[in-house]
Each structure stands twice: as structure tokens, then as C-alpha cells.
Amino acid sequence: MGGMVDIQDKTSTSREAVSEGFLLLRDGTLKVVRAGQTKKGDPVKTSEVAAIQAVKDTPRIIPFCHPIPLTNVAVELEVLDDRVRCECRVKAHYKTGVEMESLVGVTVALLTFWDMVKYLEKDQAGQYPHTRIEGIRVISKVK
């Protein structure tokens, strides 16, 4: 029978997961972002907030994830030469890990960033031939 894993008899320990991912964007888009001239506002700050909100909602997004009492969520977005890098660190003292929370945070941050700059990324046919999210992975975890 499927369902959530029974963690009743597990001992709570310190848990931490750090994930990263990248959003590839056009040079022109990154220039507008660096100049602070995007139409919807600051995509970095908005994406950071979206990631934190998503981390807290992970059990509602992924069916078999346990609701975890988080102790910290830290999100960092960095505008690089040809892409945006997101790192999301999640901490808890609980019976199960926080990898899914960290991965959800990265994913939602990058999706939010894309949403805020998509008008700059579309080609003449309304497509996104250059834009892509890639390399989402857990880079470290404790317990």
C-alpha cells in the first residue's frame, strides 16, 4: 500500500539541504535586470520571497512529503554572465530530511524569475528558444 512513510519511531535530528539550479537568459534580458528596469519589479527579491513561500508549501505540492517544522530557509539568487544561479538552504530539527523543500525552493525561484522577464525572452514567434532551467540538484545534505 502506498502513502507517506511512517516516521513515528524515528529520532529528530538536525537536517539541512542545499540545492542549486540555473536559469539561462538572453544577454539583453540580463542587461535589463542589472539596470533594475524590469516591468514587474525586482525579479531577484521577488524570486527569493517566492522560494521561501514554496519551501513552506512543499507538503501541499508533493503528495507524500511530511509537513516539517522548518527552522531556517535561506535563498540566494546571483545574476551571472549568461544565467541566474539560485541556491536554497533549508534547515530543520526533525525526523525526516528537507531535500524536497530545498529543491522546490530553487525550482519556484527560477520559475518566478522567468515569469518576471518572459516578455524580454520571447522571440518574434512568441517562443523561448534560448530560455531554460537546468542543473537543479541537491549539492549537500546533512542527515
pLDDT of res. 3: 87
Q: Which residue has the cell 527560477?
A: 110
Q: Which residue has the cell 540545492?
A: 19
pLDDT digits (tens, 9 = 90+) for 52-69: 999 999 999 999 999 999
pLDDT digits (tens, 9 = 90+) for 62-115: 999 999 999 999 999 999 999 999 999 999 999 999 999 999 999 999 999 999
In the chain, % of residues over pLDDT 70:
100
The grid cell for 75 is 535563498
| Residue 115 bears catalytic tag | yes
| pTM score over 0.85 | yes
Residue of 42, 36, 71 whose CA lies nearest to 56: 71
The grid cell for 138 is 541537491
> Which one from 6, 9, 81, 115 is the annotated catalytic residue?
115
Fold entry, domain 13-142 = Alpha-Beta Plaits (3.30.70)
